[in-house]
Structure 1
Amino acid sequence: MNNTESSGNSKAIITNQPGIHEKLAEIVNKHIAHPSQKPIQTHTQAAFDEINNIVQAFAGEVILDSCCGVGQSTRLLAKANPNALVIGVDKSAHRINRNVDEIERQDGQGYVSNYHLIRADLNDFFRLVVAAKWPVSKHYILYPNPWPKAKHIQRRWHGSAVFPELMAIGKEIILRSNWRLYLQEFQQAATMLDVFGELTPVQQQQALTPFEAKYQASGQQCWQLALRR
């Protein structure tokens, strides 16, 4: 669920939705009451089984980077957390397989190896992670596709059927977006599962993702929602 990439001339989000979606609570309550029963896709099950063996054999901190795109954020998180196992997941094989090795060489300290990039459908992957009881400390969702039209509310993560499982992953859940309303909705939906946190501006710093760099170059304010159990 990532935005379409482009260079640093990003346009601001345009939406026909003036505030928090009027049906947000109804949608979230429906998904809490009726968990998804959709069959797990074969390719996602296979990808999960492979990485699950690595996770179960690892004794340290696990960090999940959902919607990781080309994996820049996964690599940077791995570099910043050398004792952690960092797992980036994206639905697009094209994005994951793109060569962004230059990110690993920026500080002249060589490559990092404590991360894995996985191609999988997160709607299935989240459910498998919960069932396997992964010990995730931090769960990142950076710049998800905003789906700004009001009629597409259920395509946003907080409006999706897998939202309760998503919220069960990680002691801390960190989202970033250039559309504040997306994070405000997510924050409100999270309170329905007794998870709370704060919404703050992202300070100018090394961009975690190509989207963040693009938004910074365009002069847009980015926002971070940090939720803790």
Structure 2
Amino acid sequence: MEKQEIRTFGRRHGKKLSTRQQTLIDTVLPTLKPKTGDILEIGFGAGEHVRALARANPDKIIIGAEPFMNGVASLLSAITDEKTNRILDEYSGIRIWANDVRDFLRETDSQFEQIWILHPDPWPKARHEKRRLLSAEFLNTLSKYLTANGEIIIGTDHWEYFDWILEQIKSTDLTATIPDMEIIQTRYQHKNKAGTDTPKYLILRH
């Protein structure tokens, strides 16, 4: 019997979408379905970092994977002209996978220069630990989609999850370094300045 995957995210729909957002999902999103790409971000939230990646890498295809439809709608709103719904030139390299990233990985033959995972759900309760995305099994899967010099960049402000990830890495073929790097201020990080832990980052390589 085929092993059933445990879902690593919660509900896919939140507050009701605006008329324009629903129109973008119905008409623009299907045109952005990815096949292959150069840089992948998993769980992009509202898409601030995906947009920054696109601006910094205008010659690359940037794939954002996000199962939460409100986040997808926010990104679509930000990368399209408000009057025409046309993709803005600076974001022409963005592609969107609006579902579980594992389904995309089964379909693509991409070799990524970078895979970004910023602030994945830490699932802090012990009974939910199996839902954590960054297991050794998943990291080993991601490593197969890296170029020879490719990197997986991970950021979390949940320090217990950070330590758990380090333990998971020991069961992979990846090596980890803790970088001294400035990361764009995503909305989640901005909200988090209210009093929880400072984000920590890892770079994983073959």
CA-to-aligned-CA distance 1:165-223 (integer Å, 9 cap, x gap):
234333210110101221222232123121011235765x641x211222235474111
After superposition, residues 1-229 of structure 1 pair within 5 angstroms as 36=3, 50-52=33-35, 55=36, 62-98=38-74, 101=78, 111-128=90-107, 132-159=108-135, 162-170=138-146, 171-200=150-179, 203=182, 206-207=184-185, 209-216=186-193, 218=195, 220-229=197-206
Distance (Å, rounded) in 1 between the aligned partners of 2:98 and 2:91: 20
Check the 8 A contact 2:54/2:90 in 1, yes or no. Answer: no
CA RMSD of superposed structures (Å):
3.2
Work out the percentage of aligned pairs sharing the same amino acid: 24
**CA shift in 2, pair 1:183/1:157, >3 Å:** same
**CA shift in 2, pair 1:35/1:84, >3 Å:** farther
Check the 8 A contact 1:153/1:159 in 2, yes or no. Answer: no
**CA shift in 2, pair 1:37/1:164, >3 Å:** farther
Q: What letter corresponds to residue 183 of structure 1 in structure 2?
A: F
Distance (Å, rounded) in 2 between the aligned partners of 1:214 and 1:133: 36
SS in 2 for 1:51: coil
Q: What letter corresponds to residue 211 of structure 1 in structure 2?
A: Y
Q: What letter corresponds to residue 97 of structure 1 in structure 2?
A: A
Distance (Å, rounded) in 2 between the aligned partners of 1:223 and 1:184: 10
TM-score, length-scaled by structure 2? 0.69
Check the 8 A contact 1:183/1:199 in 2, yes or no. Answer: no
Distance (Å, rounded) in 1 between the aligned partners of 2:194 and 2:104: 33
Structure 1 range deviating more: 156-165 or 114-123 = 156-165
Check the 8 A contact 2:169/2:175 in 1, yes or no. Answer: yes
Structure number with the bigger relative contact order (C-alpha 8 A, sep ≥ 6) is 1
SS in 2 for 1:70: coil
SS in 2 for 1:224: strand
- Tell me the matched-pair count: 170
Q: Report deviation, 1:72.
A: 1.3
Check the 8 A contact 2:67/2:100 in 1, yes or no. Answer: yes
CA-to-aligned-CA distance 1:18-55 (integer Å, 9 cap, x gap):
xxxxxxxxxxxxxxxx99566xxxxxxxx7x9421xx2
Distance (Å, rounded) in 2 between the aligned partners of 1:185 and 1:78: 31
**CA shift in 2, pair 1:97/1:167, >3 Å:** same
